[in-house]
Amino acid sequence: MITPPPVRFLDRTTPPHIMTLVLLSGLGALAMNVFLPSLPNMTAYFDTEYRVMQLSVSLYLAMNALLQLFIGPVADRFGRRPVLLGALGIFLVATVGTLLAQDITTFLICRMGQAAVVATLVLSRAVIRDMVDASRSASMIGYVTMGMAVVPMVAPVFGGMLDAAFGWQASFVLMLVAGLAIFALTWADLGETFTRSEGGFRAQVQQYPDLLTSPRFWGYCMTAMLASGAFFAYLGGAPFVGSQVFGLNPAQLGLYFGAPAVGYAVGNFVSGRYSVRMGINRMALIGTLLCFSGMAALGITFALGAQTPQVFYGFFIFVGLGNGMVLPNATAGMLSVRPHLAGSASGLGGAIMIGGGAALSALAGALLTPGSGAWPLIYLLMTTSALAILPVLYVMRRERALARGAA
């Protein structure tokens, strides 16, 4: 078992304090969803259609996925600290661009630039894996990614309130201020945790086949992608459902929108508390079953006629709960397959997960049209969450076979 190195807060010669990692992961969550209650108003501001405005979600996710292919290898070559600081700098510049944008094309380009903030999630996980072993990393990732749970609980509420008071731009001002503060904290507190690899960037990328030929790596990636796919589809479709189906204003939509994050916070706490005791595979399986159960219950309840915003958004608590249990454990599994490639595994696994999420988010936006109601989104979520159960069962079966000495 790896003994965690000593940590001194605001000392760049030691690894970062866990609160710094929590805030880093929270910034990515803030950039993801604080503005979502404003999507209908932004559609009117830029004089476009909702399906175009929704690209601010799906293109952002797609760029997240693309960047993660490079962030891991670069960080495995040059270290965590310089890559994190550089990514935060790009995020700040792009955020200023979104505020100055006068047309939808410029806005979407700058929005894609904001995706550089994904380094905060990729590398906060890699930093943890640098410091501790697989079981303890699942526990720490569970606590750290609570930053991704707490922020989505409050960010849409604030985003909706800011939109009502000052307009949609206020949410991007909030991103800018938060980004500046976390850049300063990272500069002061985050010491390097990785011993630089030799051989350059190309040598790092050339190690991808070592990951891609591992069935266990694929199993963990697909579990994470399909389980989180329900949440990403929710990001793409729920603003439309709230405004067009239920007639919610931005402040009301913001209040309801944070429902999955309530479950996500609980799920992350459960992961942090019990992953070492129960094992990462069992925890991930329970999480996938909870996701599917919640979406199946939503479909049944809607079919029985209880079609209210409280019912629709309330059942997404189960999606959050399941994801809070799946993602830390599936991520710890990805990173443990080849521990010496933790940064690359985090980036590649995250690219697969978020790339799938981008596709599902775009699909949700395309399926929802005036008059369609919420059913296309519900069907999509039920299918995705059901499929998530299969790869984790495969991983468990393969590990039992390996334990018996099978190839």
Lookup result for tokens 């694929």: 218
Tokens, residue 37: 């209650």
| Assigned domain for 325 exists | yes
Tokens, residue 51: 């399906």
Give the pLDDT confidence score for residue 197 in this predicted structure: 53
Tokens, residue 81: 């600290």
Q: Domain range holding 214?
A: 18-190+199-402
Give the pLDDT confidence score for residue 134 in this predicted structure: 56
| Assigned domain for 7 exists | no
| Assigned domain for 1 exists | no
Residue at 56: amino acid letter: S
Distance CA 30, CA 305 (A): 34
| Assigned domain for 368 exists | yes
Report how many domains make up the chain.
1
Report the Cα 249 to chain-centroid distance in Å. 26
Q: 3-state DSSP call for residue 306?
A: coil
Is 390 in contact with 288 (CB distance < 8 Å)? no
| Assigned domain for 11 exists | no
Residues of the chain with pLDDT under 70: 1-7, 11, 132-139, 141-143, 145-150, 152-153, 195-207, 339-340, 342-344, 347, 405-407
pTM: 0.73
CATH code: domain of residue 142:
1.20.1250.20
Give the pLDDT confidence score for residue 1 in this predicted structure: 43
At 130-141, the pLDDT tens digits run: 776 555 666 676
Distance CA 250, CA 293 (A): 29
Burial of 97 (0-12, 13-18, 19+ CB in 10 A): middle
Tokens, residue 229: 């796919």
Distance CA 358, CA 362 (A): 6
| Assigned domain for 89 exists | yes
Give the pLDDT confidence score for residue 390 in this predicted structure: 94
At 26-79, the pLDDT tens digits run: 898 889 888 988 888 898 899 988 788 888 988 998 898 888 778 877 887 788
Give the pLDDT confidence score for residue 407 in this predicted structure: 41
Dihedral, 150, 153, 154, 159 alpha carbons, nearest 10: 130
| Assigned domain for 3 exists | no
| Assigned domain for 357 exists | yes
